[in-house]
Amino acid sequence: MRLLEQLPGDSGEWERLIGELTVNETYFFRDRGQFKLLRYVVLPKLIEGRRAHGRLRVWSAGCSTGEEIYSLAILLDHLLAGESGAWRLELYGTDIDARAIDHARRGCYRDWSFRGVDPQLQQGYFTSRGGEWTLLPRIHDMVRFHKANLLASVEYAPELPANDFDLILCRNVFIYFDREAIARVVGRLSAALAPDGYLLTGHNELFEQHLPQLETVVFPESVIYRRRGGAGEQPASAHPFPMAASRAPPKPPRPVSLTRRDSGRVPVVPDPARSAAAPTDLTRAQALYEQGAYAAAAEMAERAAGQRHDAYEGCCLRARCLANLARYEEALRVLEEALRLNDLAHEPYYLMAHIREAQGRTAEALGLLDRVIYLDPAFIPAYLDLAALHERMDNGARSRKLREVALRLIERLPLEAEVPPYSGLTVAELKAYVTELIGPPADTPSEDNRNRGGRP
C-alpha cells in the first residue's frame, strides 16, 4: 500500500505494477441482486428526491473497463425514458489502471462481458461489428472516465466534482486494501456523498469498519450505506449485524425480548413491575450499542448475561456487538451459549448465518438460514436472504421459489405495518419490491420486454 501511494502516476514501474496487482474481472450487471436493488429501490428513490433540480451525479470508483458504470447508464436511460432530456446526468468512472480506462472510453466489448445479460437488452443498447459489441452513442456519451488512485495522499481525482454525489459504487476494490487504507478511502467517499446519498460496496467489504458518517440500510439482496443527514429520512441501522425479530418469547418466558427493527436496535420490552426501576446492565449495554461503542457494550452485555432474567438477551446482544467488531469466532461461541439457554430460538441461528456469510462460508450460511426457517416457517427475512444467496450462486429457480414463498407470507400482513429489518419499508412497499424481484412468469414477456426490446 505504501508503494502504491508513493510511486509517481506516470512511471513505467507504476503501470507495470498496477497491471500485475489488479484483476479487471467484470461484466455488465455483475451481481444481479445488487443491480435489482439499484433498479427497483435506490435509483427510483434518488430520481424522485432529485426531480426538483433535475440532476443526478454518480461515480463508479474502481470502474475497471467500464461495464459497471455503463450498466448504470443503461438503467438510468431505462428509468428516465421519455424525460431524460430534462435531466442533467453526470456519470463518472475512475480506475487506477490506465489501460482499463482506455478500454472503457472505447465502449467496445466482447461476448464475455455479457454473460447472464438478456440478449434483447444487449441488442437494444449495443451494435455488433467484427466480433465486438459497441455501445450506442447516447449511452457512451453519458459517462466520463478518468485515471485516479483512491489511495493517493494528494487530490486523487482532480477532474471529479468534490462532493454532492448521489450514488457511489466502490465494489470489489477494498479487497486490495488493509484496514487503515479502507478507513481512509471510506472517509473520502463518505465526504463526497450528498446528504442521503448512497455508497454501494461489494458484499461484506465494510463489516469490520467503523462508519461514523454512514447509516447501514439492510435489504434482502445487499447492505447499502447512506450518508447521514438526509432531511425527512428515518435513520437506518448503523450496525452491519441487525438481529432477527422475535415472534415468540424465549423459553422459558422472560420479561425481555429481542426484536430486529429497521433501526437495528435491540429494544427492551420491560416488565411493568420493573419499569420504574433503575437501568439494568442490559439497558446500559443497549445504550452503548446504539452509540456504536461495541467493545464497552459487549462487556456490559456479558454482565447482563450473568443474570438469570437477562441471560438470553445479554448473550444475543453481546454476540451482536462482537460481530460488529469482527470478532466472529467469539460471537459464535456466545451464540452457542444463547442456544443452550433457548434451544428453540431462531435469532442466534440467523446471526450465525450472517457471520458465516461475512466470512465467505456461504454453504454454512445457507444451512443456518434453512434451520431458521425450520424453527420459524413464517420468518420472512430468512426466505429473502436465502433467495439472495442462491441468486448469487446462479440458482435462479431456487431463488424465485423462495421469494414466492416470502411474498405469500408478506401478503398475510397489514399493508401499513413495517417489516423488520428492512429499513422502515411498509408491507405494501416490501410486497411491491419482492414482486419486482420475482418478475413475470418465465413464459410471459414483461411490459418492458415488449416495449423496449429488453429489460435491465
Q: Which pLDDT tens digit goes with each residue over 122-153? A: 999 999 998 899 999 999 999 999 999 898 75
pLDDT score at 163: 87
pLDDT score at 215: 84
Q: How many CB atoms lie within 10 A of CB 424?
A: 17
276: pLDDT confidence band, cut at 50, 70 and 90? Answer: very low
Residue 455 pLDDT exceeds 70: no
CATH number at residue 205: 3.40.50.150
CATH number at residue 358: 1.25.40.10
Q: For residues 13 and 353, which has the higher predicted lDDT (pLDDT)?
A: 353
CA 304/CA 343 separation, integer angstroms: 19
Q: Residues 309-334: what's their mean pLDDT?
A: 92
AA letter at 68:
E
Contact 58, 166 (CB under 8 A): yes
Which residue shows C-alpha cell 479487471?
A: 24
Residue 301 and residue 395 in one domain: yes
pLDDT score at 67: 97
Helices 347-358 and 311-324, axial angle in degrees (round to 10): 10
pLDDT score at 394: 86
Supply the DSSP symbol for 149.
Answer: -
12: pLDDT confidence band, cut at 50, 70 and 90? Answer: low
Find, among 366, 328, 369, 362, the residue nearest to 346 by Cα. Answer: 369
Residue 88 and residue 169 in one domain: yes
Q: Are strands 126-129 and 214-218 parallel, antiparallel or unpaired?
A: unpaired
199: pLDDT confidence band, cut at 50, 70 and 90? Answer: very high
CA 385/CA 399 separation, integer angstroms: 9
Cell of 347: 435469532
Tell me if 237 is assigned to some domain.
no
Tell me if 268 is assigned to some domain.
no
Contact 435, 41 (CB under 8 A): no
Residue 72 and residue 194 in one domain: yes
Tell me if 167 is assigned to some domain.
yes
Q: Are strands 165-170 and 193-201 parallel, antiparallel or unpaired?
A: parallel
Residue 345 and residue 214 in one domain: no
Residue 198 and residue 343 in one domain: no
Q: Among 222-231, 329-338, 390-399, 446-455, whose mean pLDDT is lowest?
A: 446-455
Tell me if 261 is assigned to some domain.
no
AA letter at 389:
L
Residue 117 and residue 35 in one domain: yes
Tell me if 246 is assigned to some domain.
no
CA 318/CA 338 separation, integer angstroms: 10
Residue 315 buriedness (CB in 10 A; 0-12 / 13-18 / 19+): buried
* Phi, psi at 198, each rounded to 5°: -115, 145
CA 456/CA 73 separation, integer angstroms: 11
CA 347/CA 258 separation, integer angstroms: 8
Residue 200 and residue 286 in one domain: no
For the chain, the domain total comes to 2
Residue 193 buriedness (CB in 10 A; 0-12 / 13-18 / 19+): buried
AA letter at 95:
D
- Domain of residue 414, residue span: 281-438
Tell me if 413 is assigned to some domain.
yes
pLDDT score at 240: 61
Q: Residues 347-353: what's their mean pLDDT?
A: 94
Q: Among 96-110, 217-231, 371-385, 398-412, whose mean pLDDT is lowest?
A: 217-231
Residue 54 and residue 174 in one domain: yes
* Phi, psi at 195, each rounded to 5°: -55, 130
CA 261/CA 289 separation, integer angstroms: 14
Residue 166 and residue 303 in one domain: no
Question: How high does pLDDT run on average in the chain?
Answer: 82
Residue 293 and residue 200 in one domain: no
Q: Residues 266-282: what's their mean pLDDT?
A: 58
Helices 281-290 and 294-305, axial angle in degrees (round to 10): 160
SS3 of 277, please? coil
Find, among 192, 195, 239, 187, the residue nearest to 216 by Cα. Answer: 239
Residue 66 and residue 160 in one domain: yes
- In angstroms and rounded to an integer, the radius of gyration of the C-alpha atoms of the chain is 23
CA 128/CA 97 separation, integer angstroms: 27
Tell me if 133 is assigned to some domain.
yes
Q: For residues 245 and 42, which has the higher predicted lDDT (pLDDT)?
A: 42
pLDDT score at 18: 52
CA 169/CA 61 separation, integer angstroms: 6
Residue 24 and residue 113 in one domain: yes
Which residue shows C-alpha cell 443497549?
A: 286
Cell of 1: 500500500
Query: C-alpha distances in angstroms, 82 versus 78, 139, 216?
Result: 9, 15, 33
Cell of 180: 487503515
SS3 of 130, please? coil
pLDDT score at 324: 81
pLDDT score at 24: 57
Residue 264 pLDDT exceeds 90: no
Q: Residues 2-6: what's their mean pLDDT?
A: 51
Cell of 293: 461503542
Residue 9 pLDDT exceeds 60: no
pLDDT score at 49: 93
How would DSSP label each residue in 379-446? Answer: -HHHHHHHHHHHHHTT-HHHHHHHHHHHHHHHTTS-TTSB-TTSTT-BHHHHHHHHHHHH-S-TTS--
Find, among 125, 93, 89, the residue nearest to 26 by Cα. Answer: 93
Q: Which pLDDT tens digit goes with each residue over 377-389? A: 999 999 999 999 9
Residue 1 pLDDT exceeds 50: no
Please state the pTM of the whole predicted model.
0.74
CA 263/CA 228 separation, integer angstroms: 13
Identify which of 136-145, 224-233, 248-257, 268-277 has the greatest average pLDDT: 136-145
Q: Residues 423-429: what's their mean pLDDT?
A: 80
Q: For residues 44 and 250, which has the higher predicted lDDT (pLDDT)?
A: 44
Q: For residues 455 and 429, which has the higher predicted lDDT (pLDDT)?
A: 429
Residue 233 pLDDT exceeds 90: no
Cell of 48: 424522485
Tell me if 449 is assigned to some domain.
no
CA 241/CA 297 separation, integer angstroms: 14
Which residue shows C-alpha cell 441471560?
A: 311
